[in-house]
Amino acid sequence: MRGGPIRWTWPFMKDVIVVGGGAIGLFCAVRLRQGGARVWLLESGHEHPTYYTPIASAAAAGMIAPISNEPSVHATVALESFDLWRAMRRGAEWEDAVRFDGAVVVRPSQAEAAAFVAKAAQLGRKAQILSAGEFRKRTGFRAKVDHALFVEAEGTADPLRMLTGLGMQAHALGVLRFYDTDVWEVTATTATTHEGKVFEADAVVLAPGVWANDAMIKAAPALKQVRAGKGMLAAVALEAGLGPNLRAGEIYLAQRREDVVLGSTLEFDKFDRKVDRAKIADLHSAAERLLPGEVTLTEQAWAGVRPMSPDGWPMIGPNGEGVLLAAGHSRDGWLMAPITAEIITAYVFDNEIPPEWAALSPERFEQS
């Protein structure tokens, strides 16, 4: 350009509103901003969550567990998200909130343990059968446990430290964050608060967890499919710290930054966050059967409400009136948060959507 003033242009600059500041909304806000968008994050709650804040992300165990027993067409996307965790963590404000110590998985028989190892290998990940002695070495427990295996590709993110760290990262990147801001209505390009303030942008990302209101469901009807899945966790004391996660059927133990948690229950269509001590006692009994006398309950227990989708996988992509939906993350919201942000960013910038990402579109339920 000769003569006139130099104008810096951002050829791909987009304005994006993200509604919801849980794990999903925060990861989306950060990633969109890193991709060059101008981002408004609107969150009805406070900036500093605790276990008792009514959002799933704060209550979670935080396991980043991409390999499970269940066969799924989405297994490779889960692994992609796990790899993104490792890549994004370096130098991030929340670097110290995440550990990648793998997992010890207990299965009912040697054949099932071998099948899990084979599945991990098929997905290109390392796993090995553990003898009873190796189980003790890996976990620090004294119990004799047969039919266990160790899988490398697993970790844990400390949810509260993550939420704070993601908030700091968003702030440092210049995401415009509005807390105590309850969104009433959305369209493909606007979000209107209860007070009547209207935000306008090129795209609106909806990440309300299980808390979508009727106006949001009208704009993005797939949200109707999201059911409440109440879950309870308890903090436990162990003689020695736990390294890898321990998963055994319906229970698990996960070492976070400052505690070890025992989880978890699942009750559909329950929105309350009351702790039922009898159900915590059931979790503890299951831990006792596996590891007699080695897991002690503390006073601390809490509940959260997961946004459950019909197939347990998130709904990511355009829906209804053109709103971008990032919802229904079920039991794996922390695991799937980075890939969700990646996919949403691709939709916002009109990038190519590979078939395995398109398979997570909310439309999949309409087709079925």
Ligand X SMILES: Cc1cc2nc3c(=O)[nH]c(=O)nc-3n(C[C@H](O)[C@H](O)[C@H](O)COP(=O)(O)OP(=O)(O)OC[C@H]3O[C@@H](n4cnc5c(N)ncnc54)[C@H](O)[C@@H]3O)c2cc1C
Count of C-beta atoms within a 10 Å radius of residue 175: 24
CB 46 within 8 Å of CB 53: yes
Which CB sits closer to ligand X, 21 or 317? 21
Least distance CB 313 / ligand X (angstroms): 11
Report the alpha-carbon distance of residue 196 to residue 199 in Å, rounded: 10
Which CB sits closer to ligand X, 208 or 317? 208
At 265, list the tokens: 């229950």
By CB under 6 A, tell whether 301 contacts ligand X: no
Least distance CB 324 / ligand X (angstroms): 13
Count of C-beta atoms within a 10 Å radius of residue 359: 15
Task: Give, as one character, the DSSP assignment of residue 222.
Answer: G
Exactly one of 334, 345, 357, 362 binds ligand X (CB under 6 A); which one? 334
- Residue 67's alpha-carbon distances to 112, 151, 301, 339, in angstroms, are 14, 9, 27, 15
By CB under 6 A, tell whether 42 contacts ligand X: yes
Burial environment of residue 23 by CB neighbours within 10 A (0 to 12, 13 to 18, 19 or more): buried
Which CB sits closer to ligand X, 111 or 195? 195
Among positions 348-367, residues that touch ligand X (CB under 6 A) are none
Report the alpha-carbon distance of residue 278 to residue 138 in Å, rounded: 31
By CB under 6 A, tell whether 201 contacts ligand X: no
How many chain residues touch ligand X (CB under 6 A)?
40
Residues 6+ apart with CB under 8 A from 350: none
Report the alpha-carbon distance of residue 292 to residue 126 in Å, rounded: 29
Which CB sits closer to ligand X, 299 or 352? 299
Q: What x/- string results for residues 121 through 160 when contact with ligand X is judged by CB under 6 A?
A: ----------------------------------------
Which CB sits closer to ligand X, 2 or 344? 344
Stretch that binds ligand X, among 116-124, 209-217, 284-292, 346-354 (CB under 6 A): 209-217
Least distance CB 55 / ligand X (angstroms): 4
Which CB sits closer to ligand X, 283 or 348? 283
Which CB sits closer to ligand X, 25 or 320? 25
Among positions 45-104, residues that touch ligand X (CB under 6 A) are 45, 55-57, 59-63
DSSP string, 267-313: EET-------HHHHHHHHHHHHHHSTT-EEEEEEEEEEEEEE-TTSS
Residues 6+ apart with CB under 8 A from 90: none
Which CB sits closer to ligand X, 129 or 275? 275
At 349, list the tokens: 């910038």
Strand partners, 245: 103
Q: What x/- string results for residues 262 through 291 when contact with ligand X is judged by CB under 6 A?
A: -xx---------------------------
Exactly one of 331, 338, 339, 361 binds ligand X (CB under 6 A); which one? 331
By CB under 6 A, tell whether 208 contacts ligand X: yes
Q: What x/- string results for residues 166 through 195 when contact with ligand X is judged by CB under 6 A?
A: ----------------xx------------
Report the alpha-carbon distance of residue 169 to residue 156 in Å, rounded: 19
Least distance CB 11 / ligand X (angstroms): 31
Which CB sits closer to ligand X, 182 or 239? 182
Least distance CB 254 / ligand X (angstroms): 7
Report the alpha-carbon distance of residue 143 to residue 253 in Å, rounded: 15
Burial 45-70 (b: 16+ CB within 10 A, else e): beeebebebbbbbbbbbbbbbbbbee
- The amino acid sitting at 246 is L
Which CB sits closer to ligand X, 45 or 111? 45
Please report, as ranges, the residues that interact with ligand X according to CB under 6 A. Answer: 19-25, 42-45, 55-57, 59-63, 182-183, 207-209, 211, 213, 231, 233, 263-264, 304, 306-307, 329-335
